[in-house]
Amino acid sequence: MKETEKSPTLTRKATSSPDTIAILDFGAQYAQLIARRVREVDTYSVLLPYNTSAAELKKLNPIGIILSGGPSSVYEPHAPQLDPEIWKMGVPVLGLCYGMQLMARDLGGTVESASVKEFGRALLTILYHGKLFAELDPAIECWMSHGDSVSTLPPGFAAVGSTAATPVAAIADLERNLYGVQFHPEVAHTRGGQQIIRNFVVDICGSKQNWTMSKFVDQTIEDVRSKAGGKRVLLALSGGVDSSTLAFLLHKAIGDKLTCMFIDQGFMRKNEPEWLVDTFEREFKIKVHFVKARDRFLEKLVGVTDPEQKRKIIGTEFIRVFEEESRKLGPFDYLAQGTLYPDVIESAGTQIDPKTGERVAVKIKSHHNVGGLPDDLKFKLVEPFAKLFKDEVRRVAVELGVPEGIRVRHPFPGPGLAIRVLGEVTKERLKVLREADWIIREEIKAHGLYRQVWQIFGVLLPTKSVGVMGDQRTYQNQIVIRAVTSEDGMTADWARLPYDLLEKISSRIVNEVRGINRVVYDITSKPPATIEWE
């Protein structure tokens, strides 16, 4: 096989926008992870529905297209289909799993139910390296998840990879820059998977790798100045990485037109409200309007146990307080929030119904900054980070000079401890969780492991269990330790913390936090669980 060196045939418009890879989502579990992997090679990616038309894609002017995996079989009556005009666009296409099968079927090949189905690790033998498999070993471990296989290749294609159970595990049409792999290169289980994505994006699509956080900061500051038009902006400051970084960016963009407001709704961790206000005003010279509203929020949650209802009540009340306080300080035209791409996706996720082929909404949970906004919201929203992943925000923070102590802070949910107190939220139960959570974080830092985990926190359960303390029977609450490792929060694995650390945390909580007689450790990954318990 001889690989051509020609550039993609689609004419690129003269533009200052970054090169873009379009990812068409066929209901893949890891669709967002594909997008993130593309960005890891400094190339912008955007996730679109599978039924996006070729005409719509041409407006985006992508340098390449990736077709995600999905739960359907291409030969089923209602299987999601691709606009056939996309094959004529002249840009490179990489199909992953279902995407490869669709490519083979659409272009004249055959896909059938496999006699041997592959799920999990498999050894891929590379039959032809070319550009797609450049820099890889002759055989690599890959992650399979399929029950169908390509049985007949389309005209112009050749098999470039195989496994013991799947003779056609990777295909290529070098003349048209069309590639497909039956496995998932985006997951960490595929050795060299990121190299495959880099090879496609950079060497095949010709990305100039011009999606950088330095350029993002410059462009966003310009956009904010243009959008705000000299008008006042109110920022919902929480003290986390996202809103703190946004405060720095907005302050740089509009200076004293920015007003930061921190609402102490009573659900923050121990000592955080006071630390936040002092740090921003004394060290960063960014004025913060401090609103004490603990009693108000707690009153709204009396008798409420449903987690989704909690989030909506807190989100709505959060905005109401902003409206009231802004009248005292305002007027304001814009409300700024540190909403991230995963926030948006998880709050209104979608997947493909394999029976109908329709794209359906799958609400995992509401985030207070995207899922609880009332219909009569008086502010216009400014959400500069809504297309960024968490790791990209941290890189923005570096560009802006945000201190390391804030950059490396673990994510903290908008509703705070209210969704870590399972069941009804009361002042007493919050106090118990605060003390336990303080011990957990204090010990993980003392052991030098804070930066090795994505998140670690305590969860207060609404149940009690029998114990023995001081030779007396007790019937008290339990604390769950939740610690995970992750890259972006989209997927996560439970952290394998040292036993001596867990023992120290457990001993301290039981001895120092009144009302707790049992500590348990959550060893569930995401998926199937979420990181938070509510």
Catalytic residues: 97, 184, 186
Is 106 within 8 Å of 84 (Cβ atoms)? Answer: yes
Determine the residue type at 514: R
- State how far the Cα of 247 lies from the Cα of 217, in Å rounded to an integer: 13
Determine what percent of the chain falls in helix, strand and coil, rounding each to the nearest 5: 35, 25, 40
334-336 and 233-236 as β-strands: parallel, antiparallel, unpaired?
Answer: parallel
User: What is the torsional sign of CA 324, 328, 333, 337?
Assistant: negative
Determine the residue type at 33: L
- State how far the Cα of 387 lies from the Cα of 339, in Å rounded to an integer: 9
CB neighbour class for 222 (10 Å; exposed up to 12, middle 13-18, buried from 19): exposed
List b or e across 31-47, with b for residues whose CB sees 16 or more CB atoms inside 10 angstroms.
bbbbbbbbbbbbbbbeb
For the chain, what is the largest distance between any 2 Cα atoms, rounded to a whole number of angstroms? 80
Using alpha carbons only, how large is the chain's radius of gyration in Å?
A: 26
Half-sphere exposure of 76 (CA within 13 A, CB side): 16
The candidate with the shortest Cα–Cα distance to 489, out of 522, 520, 534, 527, is: 527
Residue 122 pairs with which residues in a beta bridge? 142
The candidate with the shortest Cα–Cα distance to 457, out of 236, 237, 241, 270, is: 270
Instruction: Find where tokens 């930061």 sit.
Output: 260
- State how far the Cα of 137 lies from the Cα of 498, in Å rounded to an integer: 35
CB neighbour class for 496 (10 Å; exposed up to 12, middle 13-18, buried from 19): exposed
| Helix, strand counts (H, E) of the chain | 14, 20
Contacts for 15 with CB less than 8 Å, ≥ 6 apart: 61
Instruction: Find where tokens 């592959």 sit.
Output: 118
Q: Apex CA 389: angle with CA 23 and CA 372, to 5°? A: 100
Instruction: Kindly state the DSSP code that residue 490 receives in the 8-state scheme.
Output: S
- Say how many C-beta atoms besides its own lie within 10 A of residue 323's C-beta: 18
- State how far the Cα of 456 lies from the Cα of 181, in Å rounded to an integer: 36
CB neighbour class for 106 (10 Å; exposed up to 12, middle 13-18, buried from 19): middle
- State how far the Cα of 347 lies from the Cα of 366, in Å rounded to an integer: 5
Structure-block tokens of residue 508: 């301290």
